[in-house]
Amino acid sequence: MLRAVGFSDGDFAKPQVGIASTWSNLTPCNMHIAELARDAGAGADAAGGKSVPFNTITVSDGISMGSPGMRYSLVSREVIADSIETVAGAEGFDGLVAIGGCDKNMPGCAIAIARLNRPAVFVYGGTIRLGAQRRDIISVFEAVGARAAGSITEAQLTEVERTAIPGAGSCGGMYTANTMASAIEALGLSLPGSSAQEAVGEAKRADCRRAGEAVVALLRAGIRPSDILTRKAFENAITVSIALGGSTNVVLHLLAIAQAARVKLTLADFTRVGKRTPLLADLRPSGRYAMSELIAVGGILPLMKTLLDAGLLHGDCMTVTGRSLAENLAAVAPYPAGQEIIRPLARPIKKDSHIVILHGSLAPEGAVAKITGKEGLAFAGRARVFDGEERATQAILAGRVKPGDVVVIRYEGPKGGPGMREMLSPTGAIVGLGLGDKVALITDGRFSGGSHGFVVGHVSPEAAVGGPIALLRNGDRIAIDAVKRRIDVDVPAAEWRRRTKKWRPRKPYATSGVLAKYARSVSSASLGAVTDQ
């Protein structure tokens, strides 16, 4: 059978390297990855291995956003991890290169690498270039809100939509894809510089060839993911993600990767590391610059060197180069004088993390807030409660949400959604309507890396299992304090007990198929929403 797919006599003596490609033409994030997979295979072959390419699925968050299809997004992370593990395990590959380019296939690849524990390298497919007038995908979502507010015309909205996405690559700010690429590189699973490259160009193709070569070198050295994925490595990933102003999804995904690697990681670790880590990057969505502009001034390696020199990274962690993180960064030059994208440590955008883990009467198991400080550090207001994203978005666009409201979107958690849909449509509408600093939004769902404003997600326990968010009513007073790390509702105890007794579970969204299977097996968001507990 192997001869039939191209093996020659000499190939049987070589280590087999699986090349896991997430290519599809569903999304610009992954449309070019088939070519990158060929480059990775060529690198493995040149180094003395025998590459065997195979494909797994991907879905497009951006296209499914705001629709029922978004329920499948987080589910796809598990399908991707399961499928890569299944193929690599069944075929007996000695090593693996996994190439991802979108929000869920990247942690999916990393979860599979951790489970398999065979020499492996992850390659990021690369970021997209900016569209006309420095536009990107978030420009479109916010333009929808601006159109609803009457501040732009239909023709202007169409022009934004037509020019925001110029070609291949992942969404261009420090959204989830670029956040996860940076986190995975900080974990040590990618070659230095892999996370800060454009999708199109020789730099990314060379990165893929080197990744193929690196897997063969790891095989010869006997270095496995378990040698790389240590607790210190996860602390490095958290630190780099915070310094870059990364997506709240990094919390969910790092918890899941750690679980697969059998490394103990909890929400408390994000708080502990976050207290000592400053936000330094002026990157979208809350900042001014795009990932391609950061690449032009040196990418993330000078930032990592700065953090290492300040004692904020563990330099002794092993990486896929076969060298330690400190050794990889030893010769890295600082950013050029005059660049404004990465602040110096002495002048941070925020002295501690923008990712704030909250607890309180509304989130006994925890919630994840994205607070850069531009929105303020506290918010108190009256609840405007919606069961599901669609109802909330309709009310926002219709002007029924007012300054001082706390928009509550529930029954969107891992089990209740199912799948924790991302709330980019409602947050984009809020910002587009000019309410970004006047309205808060809380949900047991999650947020796109492109969301910004006063937003709190991953509220746990979720509504579907009777968490406190399920008991909220319109008009309840909600207080969110990022300094005290609290999220609370002011309802008399007797009234709360009465609501608790009256609450009944809702009918599941799906009773068969992959969504139903996922809802039955998935854990709380506070544990990473994993299905292989």
DSSP line for 301-346: HHHHHHHHHTT-S-TT-B-TTSSBHHHHHTTPPPPPTT--SB--TT
- Given a contact cutoff of 8 angstroms between Cβ atoms, the answer to whether 279 and 243 are in contact is yes
Q: Which residues contact 474 (CB under 8 A, 6 or more apart)?
A: 382, 383, 384, 385
Cis amide leading into 426 (omega within 30): no
Q: Which residue in 114, 170, 112 sits closest to 138, CA to CA?
A: 170
Angle in degrees, 0-180, between the axes of helices 513-521 and 71-91, rounded to the nearest 10: 90
Phi, psi of 359 (to 5 degrees): -135, 165
**Residues pairing with 370 in the sheet:** 355, 455
Torsion of the alpha carbons at 298, 300, 304 and 306, rounded to the nearest 10: 40
d(CA 421, CA 404): 25
Catalytic residues: 448
Question: Can you list the positions of beta strands (E) in 448-503?
Answer: 454-460, 477-481, 486-490
Predicted pLDDT of residue 372: 87
d(CA 239, CA 107): 17
Q: 3-state SS of 399-446? A: CCCCCCEEEEEECCCCCCCCCCCECHHHHHHHHHCCCCCCCEEEECCE
Q: Which residues contact 58 (CB under 8 A, 6 or more apart)?
A: 22, 24, 26, 27, 29, 30, 76, 80, 100, 101, 102, 104, 105
Count how many residues are written for the chain. 533
d(CA 395, CA 14): 61
- Given a contact cutoff of 8 angstroms between Cβ atoms, the answer to whether 267 and 366 are in contact is yes
d(CA 34, CA 21): 7
Q: 3-state SS of 7-53? A: CCHHHHHCCEEEEEECCCCCCCCCCCHHHHHHHHHHHHHHCCCEEEE
- Please state the pTM of the whole predicted model: 0.97
**Which pLDDT tens digits describe the chain residue by residue (533 residues)?**
999 999 999 999 999 999 999 999 999 999 999 999 999 999 999 999 999 999 999 999 989 998 999 999 999 999 999 999 999 999 999 999 999 999 999 999 999 999 999 999 999 999 999 999 999 999 998 999 899 889 999 999 999 999 999 999 999 999 999 999 999 999 999 999 999 999 999 999 999 999 999 999 999 999 999 999 999 999 999 999 999 999 999 999 999 999 999 999 999 999 999 999 999 999 999 899 999 999 999 999 999 999 999 999 999 999 999 999 999 999 999 999 999 999 999 999 999 999 999 999 999 999 999 998 888 899 999 999 999 999 999 999 999 999 999 999 999 999 999 999 999 999 999 989 999 999 999 999 999 988 888 999 999 999 999 999 999 999 999 999 999 999 999 999 999 999 999 999 999 999 999 999 999 999 999 999 999 98
Exposure class string for 219-240: b at 16+ Cβ within 10 A, else e: beeebbbebbbbebbbbbbbbb
d(CA 405, CA 403): 6
d(CA 105, CA 66): 20
